[in-house]
Every structure is written in C-alpha cells, then in structure tokens.
Amino acid sequence: MKKILLLLCVVLLMAPVALAQDMEHEPWTCPEGYEGQTLSIFNWSTYIAEDTVPNFEEACGVTVNYDIYESNEAMLARIRQGNPGYDIVVPSGGTVQRMAEEMLLIPLDLEMIPNVANIIPDLLGPAYDPENEYSLPYQWGTVGVGYSTEVFPDGITSWNQVWEHDGPVAWLDDRQTMLGIAHLFLGNDPNTTDADEINAARDYLLENGGNVVTVAADDGQVLLERGDVDIAIEYNGDILQISWDCECDDYTYAIPEEGSNVWIDNLSIPVDAPNPELAMVFIDYILDAKVGADLTNYIWYASPNQASIESGFIDEEILNDPAIFPPAEQVAKLFAIIDVGAEAEELINNAWDELLIFLGQ
Amino acid sequence: MTNWLKRNQKNGSFLAAPTVVWLLIFFVLPLVIVLVVSLMSRGRGGVAELPFTLAHYARSFDVFSIILWRSIGLAALTTVVCLIVGYPLAFFISTRRRRRAQQITLFLVILPFWTNFLIRTYAWRILLGDEGTINGFLMSLGVISEPLSLLNTQFAVLVGLVYGFLPFMVLPIFASVERFNFRYVDAAHDLGANDVRTFLRVVLPLTMPGVLAGCALVFIPSVGAFVTPDLLGGAKGLMIGNLINNQFGGSGNMPLGSALSIVMMAVVMLSLLVYVFANRRDTGA
C-alpha cells in the first residue's frame, strides 16, 4: 500500500506536465438500452458532487435513488440483513475484503467498464481485492486533525499536541484508526491482532483522552465549525469542506508527523442488486476523466483517476494541496486498515467499548 | 344492549385473539429471539453463533455496570425533577377556573410534540454549546468571562431528558387532579388540618395514581434513552442505550447487545413491579 501511494505521488508530481488536454476530452456517453430503468445508490453522506447523479440520469434517461450512510459498519449491517435493493455501495478497503469473503458482493464485468483504463495503474489490484474482481477505487484520503487556526496559530504537527491540548477535542468513532494511531506510538503494527498490544493501545488512548468531549461519528467538522471543539480528528475531506464553505482560514487540516490512517473507498455492487448492468455503467461513468474531476473539485478528496489528474480538469488549488495529495514523506508513514479477522475484531471491539465507558469517568 | 354484552363476554377469548396473536408475533417472539441471541457467542462481524455462553451477561455486569448505574441514576433524577416541576404545573392547569384557560395551558404542554424530538434535541445543542445561546447571553451580560461547559455533560443529558419527558409527567397527574374533589380540602381544614398536613394526608394520596403513572412513564423511556445522550452527552454522558446501539453495527457484538438489552429490560420490569405494587397498596386492593 505504501509503495502504491509513493508511486501515486510521483505520478502526481509529474501531472502538471500533462496539462491542458481538456479540449480533446469527449463527454461521457451512455450505452443504449437503459432508458426508463432505475439505479439505487448507497453512498457515504456528503460524498458526491451536486450534479453527478442528475447528469447521469440525463445521459442515460434513468431514475436514480440515492441513500446515504455514516459508516462501513452501518452499510454492512444493512446489506447483511438482505440487500434492500441497492445497486451500488461504496465500501472501504477492509470492508471490501470482508464483504467479498461473505459473498455480499457480485463480480464486476470489467469489459462493461472501459474507463478502468483511466485509473492510476498502481491503485489497481490492491491487497484487499487483488484482481479487482469486486471493487474499483472511488476516492482516497487520510484521517488527520482538523483544528482552529485561532487556537493553533503555529499549526499542529504532532499527535502529542492533540493529547496535551487544554481545550475540547473530538475523536473519530473509528476504532481501528484510533487504536492504530496509539499503536504507532507504542511501536506496534497498527493492524496488530495481539491482545496485550490492543489493550496497551486502549490504555494509551485513555491516558491521553482527558480532553475528549465527544467521540464523533463523522460529524467532527460540524463541531469544529460551531466552536464546540478546538480539534476534531476527522477525514481530510470533511475538514476541507467546512473551510471551503466558510471561505475563511479559520480551520485547517494536518496529518501529524507520526503518521495516520490512509483509506481507499471503492465502488462495488452488492449481492442481489436489482440492476447490476446499470450499476456497471454508472461505475464507468464515475471513472470518466471529467466526471471524476468534477467529483474531486466538489468533495475535495483525492481522485484515483489518472486521466482526471492529467487532463487539468481538477482545480490546481486541490492538486497542490498537501492535505489532499500529501507529500511523499508523509505518505510513507500512513497505514492502511485491513480486516483483522473475528478474534482480533472482538478484542478491538471490547477495547473500544471499555475506552468509551472509561473515557467519561 | 346488556344482552349483547353478556353474550359477548362468553366469547371474550375470541375477541382478544387479534391482540394475543399480535403480542405473540411482535412481542413474545422477538423477545425470545433476543434472549436466545444474548446467550450465544460472537462471530465475525458481530453476528451471533454457537456455542451458547453466559460470557456476555458476565460482561454486562462487569464494565458495563458503570454505565448501567449511570443510566438508572440519570433516569431517576429525571423522574424526580419532572415530578417537582410537573406536579405544581398539573395543579396549576387543572385549577384554572375558566375552561378556556385550562385548554390553552394544556395545549401548550402538548405543543412541543408538533416538532420532531430529534430537531428539538438538536436545538438544545445550539442552546448549550460553548459558543451557544446561553453562554453568549451570560457572557454579554458579563456574568461569566469564560463559557460554561454545558454541552457534552451529564447535566446536558438531564436537561434534555427532563425537557423531553415532562409532558408524560404532567398529563397523568393532570388527569388525577381533575378527578380530585376540592371539597375534601375544605373538610380537612374544617377538621383542623393545616395546609401542609392537608396536602400530605389528603391531596397527595388521592392524586398518587397520577404521580405513579407519571413516574413510570418518565423513568422507563429515560433509562433506555438513546438520542438525548447521543446528541447532548458526548463522551461524558454516555448511557446504556448508546452502548447497546454500538453493538449492532457491522463490527459490534450482537449477543452482547442482546444481553445488555435483557438486563435493561429487567431493570424496567423491576420498576414496573414497584409501580404495580405501589398502585395496589394505594387503591387498597
């Protein structure tokens, strides 16, 4: 994974060389025969551009139902109970692995998705899905700290500043990421399955969590924006979206130097999808250079789409933002979360419950 | 008419059949499922699998008991505050001479139900926040120089619960006071009782059914409250409902969540038993 991202950054550094190809780009066209059909998408909240779905509906003459979720776990629980009728889901890496093992995803027909050619080659064939049988990358990004520039005029460069801050802090309700950060400090593998190491990480977080006012499920940026917290551990895109919304410099995002979590979200088709063919057409649409660039320009996450990056469709402000496309030396310190199996999962689950219980004592 | 009633009393069980079937399918069966799941082991992704184990009950009474006691404490406190605020209010409403005034005050108690509970709880977040309405007001008056930490505390949860459940206290007490014959007060006074004694020996016992019903209606949903602590409690105001909810996500622990639910149900059952017995003694049955 680290190698992939290093290579990715090299590619990105070379990107400006290949600018200004936008004139040659032909708009994506929908294959025929889908008019009047319906597609149901189940995606993370605030994770698509305003016109992505309407443009697809217009291009194909179809209707799209769009539902949102807040966590991989929430989505997984819905699909596990029997797919309620979704054609597209957007699981993160480890979740793809788990869903594939549980036969909750159906294989993609890559011939129906010619725009696979647009994806950065190094992002294809990831460890959680080596043949891209079940997934193709949608967006990628990091977990880091969003903070108030008024409280931290000199910025945040270390997790220690987060632990030691005398003021309200919001953590992210992502057990593997939070424990993984503690593992970095303790010198352990962030994906360790060892009970003692997991409990040590729990204790490390408890010791350093005295200033935590809430463990937020993906709305830390809202708390930061409202002034309820000075620091929110959050996904980079969420923090960037509020600084973009307020058109101010009140908030910024940083990846602490000790390292953090990198994630890749993927487009997949859940088992029993009512319309898998149209779902594959939609995946092809998302992987179009212009559509992918518009998406990144709106939600400010890093695009896995080399054609988007090279075409110059992505705003330069985003391409050159280290919070979105971090520099190589930072990327080298990022860790990815994998599926750790039932036993370690239970250990992590117990450690997290105990953390939540004792954090408030 | 009476013949018709008599005839149908014999068929009572037949008339009750739809309710019985309903309860069997939607109450007894789910309860049995929860009970069975609570005794199973945790499989990958948090689902239930064999073999059977009591481990999740052990865990419920171990670390989780801290939060369980906090939930019971907060619910009890909510009930007491609701009673202190709600009893005089119910009295105020039912003693309005003009029917119109009574209708309007009663209407005002019910009015908040017109807005979704979630939205009203979010409003409390804005009121209680560090840069929220209350802190802003107090700071502009110069009463405080630093914002008070109101949000993300157990106090915020208490405020939210009292706010949310107050009508459930007021309405049953109102119904009791409505039926109360105020000539008893005159009689007590004539017999030499002072106001305090009259209240304690006459008014309170006769309105006790309403008080007990109100307490049960406030305490039971408060113990299992989930939205209020989630939005107002933050890390320090976590309640058992939040931890149960956490167990039913993808990498939670459904058997543990079920065991915690059963334990919570036992707490609710116990308080209902208290209610039933207190009520019985009260009505002299």
A331-350 pLDDT, tens digit per residue, is: 778 887 888 888 898 999 99
**Homologous superfamily of A2-135+268-320:** Periplasmic binding protein-like II (3.40.190.10)
pLDDT of B55 reads: 86
The domain in which residue B185 lies consists of: 66-283
Record: contact B64-A341, CB cut-off 8 A:
no
* Confidence check: pLDDT of B256 > 90: yes
Query: The domain that contains B121 carries what CATH number?
Result: 1.10.3720.10
Find the residue in B nearest to A217 (Cα).
B230
In a domain, B57, yes or no: no
Whole-angstrom distance between the N-terminal and C-terminal Cα of chain B? 30
**Homologous superfamily of A141-262+331-359:** Periplasmic binding protein-like II (3.40.190.10)
Assign A132 a pLDDT band (cuts: 50, 70, 90): very high
Assign A15 a pLDDT band (cuts: 50, 70, 90): very low
List strand residue ranges (DSSP E) for chain A, in order.
38-44, 63-69, 88-89, 136-148, 169-172, 212-216, 231-235, 251-254, 261-267, 335-336
In a domain, B91, yes or no: yes
Q: Give A266's strand partners.
A: A137
pLDDT digits 0-9 by tens, B110-125: 888 888 888 999 899 8
In a domain, B24, yes or no: no
pLDDT of A6 reads: 54
**pTM for this prediction:** 0.77
Please give the tally of structural domains in chain B. 1
Task: Look at phi and psi of residue B251 and say left if phi exceeds 0, alpha if psi is from -120 to 50, else beta.
Answer: alpha
Assign B97 a pLDDT band (cuts: 50, 70, 90): confident
In a domain, B275, yes or no: yes
Q: What residues of chain B lie within 8 A of the CB of A361, using their CB?
A: 66
Stretch A39-64: mean pLDDT, rounded? 93
Find the residue in B nearest to A360 (Cα).
B236
* Confidence check: pLDDT of A144 > 60: yes
pLDDT of B7 reads: 63
Map out the domains of chain A as residue ranges.
Answer: 2-135+268-320, 141-262+331-359
Decide: residue B195, CB within 10 A, 0-12 exposed, 13-18 middle, 19+ buried.
exposed
Those residues whose C-beta lies under 8 Å from the C-beta of residue A147, and which sit 6 or more positions away, are A156, A224, A230, A231, A232, A251, A252, A253, A254
Which residue of B41, B154, B251, B260 to mutate against A (max A Cβ within 10 Å)? B251
Record: contact B234-A214, CB cut-off 8 A:
yes
* Confidence check: pLDDT of B282 > 80: no
In a domain, B180, yes or no: yes
